[in-house]
Amino acid sequence: MSSDFSNDPFARLTQEDTRVATAASPPMDLQYRGEQGPLFWLALKTAILTLITLGFYRFWAKTRIRKYFWSATAPGGDPMEYTGNGLEKLLGFLIAVAFLAIYLGLFQVILSFVGLSIFSGGEGPEAQAMQILFSQATLLAVIPFIFYAQYRARRYILSRTRWRGVRFGVDAAAWGYVWRAIGHSILTIVTLGLLLPRQTFWLEKYRIDRTWYGNTKFVQGGKWTSLYPAMKHYFIAAGLILVPGALVLMSEQYVVLIFVFVGVAWFYYAFAYYAVVSFQILGDQKKLGEKVGFVTAPRAAKVFWTYVLGALLASTCAGLVFSAFSIVASNFMGLTTLDLLSQGEQLFDPENISVGFYIGIGIFVLGYLAMLLSYGVFGMIFVSQPVLEHYVQETQILNPEALDDIQQRSRDEMVEAEGFADALDVGAAI
């Protein structure tokens, strides 16, 4: 059956495979142990606490969810552990707010001042383009902070991650990441996305080459051009849009425009495909120290459909929750409204609005909040967990006996935690 392996890029490696021929021990599988029930109750409980504390519990909520996901991920049967805590996350957030409030406040005011000062007053396309440019300028100004916050958030999360009692760690090198990320982004935009693999590879290499497990460093091998196969569906989507578009211009056959719509939809799949396949290609080229390697085989179609169907299911469930609240609410409101109509009185005269009306409004608002909240909770069990589970189960560790030699590293205190990412709302999804 060896021909299967050469044809199918997603085939899993076995002991017989040549790539692990040098390995003395069999590859280590990653187990995933999370279940829907316990995660659902944990997510619901923490979401409700977040709501009634006006958002302040969110630091603890995220921490508890992470603890669950980490402990569900068990390479070789030994669970990962997340050792962060909500208090330090809150502290980091407060530190970030103390600095960012000044920066963001001044920044926004000065930017809108500049915007108003050069405002031309015309309503022509030129003037509107300027307006749009300026509304985007605010975003541009925050981008360096976003990259900074993302690198720091990753550093914090990994510094609070342990496996077999040994800590992960990331070097403090956020500013180096910021300017590289900005440079690569500009290059990617200028080349209309053609150099996206270059960006993905070099930024991943920057991050991975500064990541440690215990006293041992990770290394990202490979070269950026090997990521082009992951771009396949981007090219197909672009082709689906450009070729019919050119045909329309030449022959004015508007029927072919239907391909353009297909092409736009195709972009969504291309996005998932690139994320999954580039993860797989880069994953196979990662090493921990000299010996430990990885094999990853996530499937793009599986991840894509988990997202689409999971999101659909989650929004249906959230919609049902809202409908339930609405029915109760309109019962309260409906009765009083009919009552008033039958007496021919003015509906919105404050004296005629009864207690029932207010209760109804209150239940409506509650229903709206419950809908937002349950969308998050259902999203957790229908999207986040299945996707994580798939990635985890499709990963293997090569040469795992070399892990035994890895020694502990010292604690990275990081008082600011991931406060900047929390304040700018650019933290990790989980």
Partner 1 sequence: MDMNAPAEGKYFDGKSARQLPVTVTLETRHNTSVLVIQSDNTSEEIWPLAELREVREQARAEGIVLSLGQDGIARLILLEANAAQIVRDNAPNLGKVVVKKSKWRQLVVWSTGAVASVVVIMFVILPALSNQLATMIPIEREVALGDVSMNQIHRFLGGSDENDLACENPEGLLALQKMTKRMVGTTEIPYDLKVQVFDHEMINAFAVPGGQVVLFEGLLDAARSPEEVAGVLGHEIGHVVNRDPMRLTLRSAGSVGILGMVFGDFAGGFMALALTEKLISAQYAQGAESGADEFAHQLMADANLPSASFAMFFRTLKEEHGGQTGLMSHLASHPNLDGRAAAAVAADVIGEQAYEPVLTPQEWRALRNICK
Residues 381-410 that bind partner 1 (CB under 8 A): 403-408
CB within 8 Å of 122: residues ≥ 6 apart: none
Among 12, 29, 112, 228, binds partner 1 (CB under 8 A): 112
Which segment (52-60, 153-161, 182-190, 339-347) binds partner 1 by CB under 8 A?
52-60
CB of 79 to partner 1, least distance (A): 7
Looking at the Cβ atoms of 76 and 144, the one nearer to partner 1 is 76
CB of 428 to partner 1, least distance (A): 14
Among 5, 17, 26, 81, binds partner 1 (CB under 8 A): 81
Closest CA to 294 of 310, 283, 281: 283
Number of residues this chain uses to bind partner 1 (CB under 8 A): 74
Looking at the Cβ atoms of 1 and 139, the one nearer to partner 1 is 139
**Order of strands across the sheet that contains 216-220:** 73-75, 28-32, 395-398, 292-296, 286-288, 216-220, 211-213, 166-170, 161-163, 80-82
The DSSP code sequence of 300-323 is HHHHHHHHHHHHHHHHHHHHHHHH
CB of 368 to partner 1, least distance (A): 8
Give me 353's structure tokens: 């609005």
First-to-final CA distance of the chain: 39
x/- letters, 30..49, toward partner 1 (CB under 8 A): ---xxx--xx--x----x--
Q: Check if the beta carbon of residue 415 is closer than 8 Å to that of residue 159.
A: no
Closest CA to 398 of 22, 10, 7, 79: 22
Q: Does 97 bind partner 1 (CB under 8 A)?
A: yes
Closest CA to 393 of 311, 313, 302: 302
CB of 4 to partner 1, least distance (A): 33
Among 25, 71, 226, 354, binds partner 1 (CB under 8 A): 71
By CB under 8 A, what part of segment 203-242 binds partner 1? 213-214
DSSP annotation of 167 reads E
| Residue 131 CB burial class (10 angstroms; 0-12, 13-18, ≥19) | middle
Q: Does 132 bind partner 1 (CB under 8 A)?
A: no
What's phi and psi for 10, nearest 5 deg? Answer: -100, 5
Q: Does 166 bind partner 1 (CB under 8 A)?
A: yes
Q: How far apart are CA 76 and CA 389, in angstroms?
A: 15
Q: Check if the beta carbon of residue 207 is closer than 8 Å to that of residue 177.
A: yes
- Which pairing describes strands 286-288 and 28-32: parallel, antiparallel, or unpaired? unpaired
By CB under 8 A, what part of segment 295-314 binds partner 1? none
Looking at the Cβ atoms of 98 and 258, the one nearer to partner 1 is 98
Among 13, 20, 64, 89, binds partner 1 (CB under 8 A): 64
CB of 174 to partner 1, least distance (A): 19
Which segment (144-152, 203-211, 391-399, 420-428) binds partner 1 by CB under 8 A?
420-428
Which segment (164-172, 199-207, 249-257, 325-333) binds partner 1 by CB under 8 A?
164-172
Q: Does 78 bind partner 1 (CB under 8 A)?
A: yes
Looking at the Cβ atoms of 167 and 198, the one nearer to partner 1 is 167
By CB under 8 A, what part of segment 325-384 binds partner 1? 369, 372-373, 376
* C-alpha to C-alpha distances, 310 to 182, 272, 279, 320, 378, nearest whole angstrom: 33, 14, 21, 15, 8
Among 8, 41, 45, 106, binds partner 1 (CB under 8 A): 106
Q: How far apart are CA 191 and CA 335, in angstroms?
A: 63
Among 21, 249, 425, 429, binds partner 1 (CB under 8 A): 425
Among 5, 25, 40, 51, binds partner 1 (CB under 8 A): 51
CB of 108 to partner 1, least distance (A): 4
